[in-house]
Amino acid sequence: MKSLIIALALVAAVPLPAHAEHRTPRDLRELAYQNGIRIGSAVNIAALRDEADYRKVLNREFSHVTAENAMKWESVEPERGVFTWSDADALVDNARRNNQKVRGHTLVWHNQLPAWLTSGVENGTIDAAELREILRDHITTQVRRYKGKIRAWDVVNEVVNDDGTMRQSIWLTHLGPGYIADAFRWAHRADPHARLYINDYNLEWNAPKIETTFSIVKDLQAQGVPIHGIGFQGHLGIQYGYPGDWANVMSRFADLGLEVAVTELDVRMELPVTSEKLATQADYYRRALTDCLGVKACREFTVWGFTDRHSWVPGWFEGEGAACLFDENLAPKPAYHALLGVKKA
């Protein structure tokens, strides 16, 4: 027995072949492991529940997940004081079973708000003081429910317009710009260990939006507000060209001490699909991951849905689509294989 134990110990001590850690990964999870990053997807909850093939690919490929809609305000509190957690719970429970981290999305946004809230503000039955209490209670209730179960929250989402001005949401109009700092403070009190992000689109290239967001972050930091990360949504289209300065923009925010995450990446194209367009799309996905891996602070690379079967793009961009890594039949596209070939420098 003693000799057998010694023999087994010697076998265990033999290092893996040098090429083992550098081989082409078999899937995105292995790619994430090799590169020390989390690779995730937004999740369609109906598909998670009802489609076994969707569920299989999601849980095989991704080490990080985001609720596409299940954690937005109209989903979790459709009536005042009446919370419906079943969809959000389903995402969190599935992630726990499959060793996935979770991004909470989103606590404060101008969109997808419940009618009881927007109508109450518009008709004056909810004044500014009450609105502030409602926002505080919403953030506190949601973050506390998932305390210790969510790695990072998109605390405020899309607060800057493309021209660099602040978005005139009900929050800014009635509470003033201080609502942003309040939201971060409330979220931090509810879960001191969650990483708290500001998240927006077109930050990859839009100079006015970049500068305003940069100023917001610096101002929050000067106030001692707990902000930990910057989320680049990354909704790209091949007809517009790749945002070639993206890595430098990431680095600017990283130099403020922030984590960086690609939070909602997809790469749409004008239909019909051609092999040339798929090749360009693959190059964009490859470049996006390369840019992320080139910035030490980039901790997460999440796509906004992984299959064209459930992509949001056709419903928002007429004549465009095919934006995801897998097609409608869950067959991997050239973009998927392009990602598997990316290695950290």
Q: Catalytic residue numbers?
A: 264
> DSSP state, 260?
E
Burial class of 337 by CB neighbour count within 10 A (0 to 12, 13 to 18, 19+): middle
Pair 64, 322: CB distance under 8 Å: no
CA distances from 73 to 61, 78, 108 (A): 28, 7, 8
Q: Which residue has the tokens 């389903």?
A: 90
C-beta neighbour count of 120 within 10 angstroms: 18
How open is the CA angle 29-194-175, to the nearest 5 degrees?
Answer: 125
The whole-angstrom separation of Cα 135 and Cα 186 is 9
Amino acid identity, position 282: A
Angle at which helices 178-190 and 128-145 pack, to 10 degrees?
Answer: 30
**What element of type H or E holds 22?**
none
300: left (phi over 0), alpha (psi -120 to 50) or beta: beta
φ, ψ at 199 (rounded to 5°): -135, 140
The DSSP secondary-structure symbol of 230 reads E
Burial of 59 (0-12, 13-18, 19+ CB in 10 A): middle
Total number of residues shown for the chain:
345
Residue 71's φ and ψ, nearest 5 degrees, are: -110, 5
